[in-house]
Amino acid sequence: MSHVDEGTLAAYLDAGPPEGGRERQGTAEVEAHLTACADCRARLDTLRRERETARAILRAGLPARSAASFADVLERSRARSEKTADRRRLSRLTSLAWAATVILAVAVGWYAREASFRPDVVGSTGETRAAIDSSGPASPAPEPAAAAATAVAPPRTARRASDRFRAGGGPQAQSPVVAAAPRVPESRRDAAAAGGLVDNRRVLAGKPSAELKQAERQLAGAAEGLGVRAGANAPAPLMKAASISPWADTTADAAVKVLGGRPLLIAGAMTTSYAVSVTGLRQVRITQRLGDGTVVELIEGRTPAEAAMEKATAPAALGRPSGAPRAAPAPVTQKQEAGAGLREETDAVSVSRGGYLVTLRVVIAADKAVRRDSLERLLSKLR
């Protein structure tokens, strides 16, 4: 008969359940074996002694102290709950603070980004300050035109353009054309701040002004022999239109296309440049240098009446084939050109030929006084 192992004997001593695979043995079997086996009884006695000694060791030397009441535990639990709740509130507040910080940072970043895109703010000129003042909350009430623009909520770019235009000394009444105009480079805005020239040009390029129309009418009047006044005695609108009518340099071929035929030139003079009008008029400006150093310019274009006639009669009647020379004008005198006007001032003279108006102007004169007969002779050399 095999002996009972120490684990089973320990469980027997501790009155615990039989161990593992020995459940079937049961307490009765252990007791039966112990009755018959002296060795196992001796081992059981040793285990019992060690058990009691171990318990005595473990319970020796413990300091005597009265137990705290259960109320203390409950109070401690309540304080812990409040502390946890406070911590949760603090955590929630911290989260809100972080969220507010992030929102604030984004807002500041957005504002800084917007400001970085506004050259008005970056600059330091008087125009800049004017633009800031005009866009700030303390700015005066908007003018009617500006108020209308605000009512339809124009794009920010358009509003900035109008602000710049106003700061540059432009007209106070803002037209939609100006409001929608593309942005002007910094250097050009400086020019605008100096004299408003750029913005004026933009206005005229986008929408011909009444002044230009008046100039056009006066040129047409010259073609009809009503006389053209130029120079110091010319009407102010005409002078202004002439001064602001920009010319774009071009080639001889492009000039031919604009006129619908080869332009008339002073025979024997050196042609230095061609330019076409960018105002919408079919005009060509040709600069020629004469032998004595005199520089003249020939402004050639159609009379409005001729243009209207061509438009009404068909493409075939649009004039001479490209490159075909026009007939040279006859000798220029008022008597010979009945109905085709010749008018002369001190430095300019015009002549109309077959629906084309040619104006000859002295740009640089070798002699201070340019006589009328000299201009007439030049006109007679047009070929």
Partner 1 sequence: MPTNWEQQYRETYDDLVRFLHRKVWDSDRAHDLVQETFVRALNHDPENPRAFLFTIAANLARDEARAAVRRKHHLELITVETGERSDPGPAEALEEREREAAVRRALESLSERDRDVLLLWDAGLSYPEIAEQAGLALGAVGTTLARARHRLVEAYEAAEGKAPDVARG
Residues lying near partner 1 in the complex (CB under 8 A): 5-11, 14, 16-17, 19-22, 47, 49-65, 67-68, 70, 72-74, 76-77, 80
- Specify whether the CB–CB gap between 192 and 199 falls below 8 A: yes
d(CA 357, CA 304): 10
Quote the least distance from Cβ 39 to partner 1, whole Å: 16
Q: Which H or E element spans position 275?
A: strand 270-277
Copy the structure tokens of residue 218: 């006066």
Copy the structure tokens of residue 8: 């089973």
Quote the least distance from Cβ 74 to partner 1, whole Å: 8
**Based on CB atoms, which residue is closest to partner 1, 47 or 365?**
47
**Based on CB atoms, which residue is closest to partner 1, 25 or 175?**
25
d(CA 92, CA 38): 73
* DSSP SS3 for 207: coil
Other CB atoms within a 10 A radius of the CB of residue 349 amount to 24
**Based on CB atoms, which residue is closest to partner 1, 39 or 133?**
39
- Specify whether the CB–CB gap between 286 and 249 falls below 8 A: no
Quote the least distance from Cβ 48 to partner 1, whole Å: 10
Residues in the chain: 383
**Based on CB atoms, which residue is closest to partner 1, 56 or 314?**
56
- Specify whether the CB–CB gap between 288 and 266 falls below 8 A: yes
Quote the least distance from Cβ 36 to partner 1, whole Å: 21
**Based on CB atoms, which residue is closest to partner 1, 78 or 183?**
78
Quote the least distance from Cβ 67 to partner 1, whole Å: 5
User: Given the DSSP bridges, would you call strands 283-289 and 348-353 parallel, antiparallel or unpaired?
Assistant: unpaired
Quote the least distance from Cβ 13 to partner 1, whole Å: 9
**Based on CB atoms, which residue is closest to partner 1, 77 or 272?**
77
Quote the least distance from Cβ 53 to partner 1, whole Å: 4
Nearest-CA neighbor of 381 among 259, 261, 255, 296? Answer: 296
d(CA 313, CA 328): 24
Copy the structure tokens of residue 313: 């009669």
**Based on CB atoms, which residue is closest to partner 1, 14 or 186?**
14
- Specify whether the CB–CB gap between 299 and 349 falls below 8 A: no
